[in-house]
Amino acid sequence: MSAEKSTGKLAVFVRSGELNCWLDRAVESVLASDYALLEVIVLLNGPSIGVSVDAVAAQEAAHPWMQDARVSTYRYDRYLGMSGSMIEATSKISGDVEFMANVDGDDYVAPEKFSAQISYLQAHPDCVLVGTGAYMIDGEGAVTGELGGTHRDDVRSKLYLFNPLPHSSVLYRRSAFEKVGGHTPGLSQCEDYDFTLRIACHGKVAQLAQKYVYYRVHQSNLSKGATASGPHMKCVSEGRRALAHATGTPSVVACPQHLLWVAIQYIRTRGLIRPLHEYRIRKSS
């Protein structure tokens, strides 16, 4: 289905703790989308973000995308947290938005990504969220590997062990977002996993084989593997139980995978394995 045949307004959220060239690339890639019905909500949060009149004027001069009519920029001179920044960003959408998507401030996306995903959702009314594959890139933007690459109409069986969907790849229905009440407050880790588990209780979760996302791997996110304790562990555990109940998955299938995931978090916190181990990664030649 072409972009012209896809309908329904899309809100894209881009969050960042600082203004830099990676954020420029992220926002510019969203604005280059072939999907016309688009609004972009950029949420800047961190101590380096200026909020004064002079600071805003300087930002707009240095980052021309801020003056694009499709972009609304919100500034906070403090960190809002992982789930807190998503909650704040999603609260800013227009009333006529039908679809929602996230692009992390250090990633970027292909022009055809959103139209392909919305076309898929329109053709599959029982699907509430769709992700894609991704290219891994380094700090300079060079491709170093691939994530995913297999088309699946329903990946919910994978969610008992890990989240197969890179956060910048997901696009979901607003109606499903509202059913689950948005993101869980207070999570500094696994906020995307928790959200995916909860929304998956209301319909299928698909993954397109195409790699429409460029996922930047750098020292900051490479060291962010989930810790083995904290509220995120409880949320993921509860989310998996709810998903098993919603899909009729026997506990003998879901429970061993969950216990393995918990064990992996303990092993990872001891430095024996690193983040991204769960993805099927192909290194670039």
Residue ranges in the chain modelled with pLDDT below 50: 1-4, 222-223, 277
The per-residue pLDDT for 266 is 80
Structure tokens belonging to residue 251: 């506990």
For residue 222, the model assigns a pLDDT of 47
List all residues 6 or more positions away from 236 whose beta carbon is below 8 Å from its beta carbon: 190, 193, 194, 197, 261
Closest of 130, 126, 106 to residue 10, by C-alpha: 130
d(CA 271, CA 218): 17
Q: Tell me the pTM.
A: 0.91
Q: What tens digit of pLDDT does each residue of 192-233 get?
A: 999 999 999 999 999 999 999 999 988 766 445 667 788 999
> Which residue ranges make up each domain of the chain?
3-283
pLDDT for position 5: 58
Structure tokens at 101: 């998507």
pLDDT at 92: 98
Q: What is the CATH number of domain 3-283?
A: 3.90.550.10
List the alpha helices (DSSP H) in 135-249: 174-180, 191-199, 219-222, 231-247
Q: What is the pLDDT of residue 3?
A: 42
Ranges of H-type helices in the chain:
21-31, 53-62, 82-90, 113-123, 174-180, 191-199, 219-222, 231-247, 251-269
The pLDDT assigned to 4 comes to 45
**Confidence at residue 189, expressed as pLDDT on a 0 to 100 scale:** 87
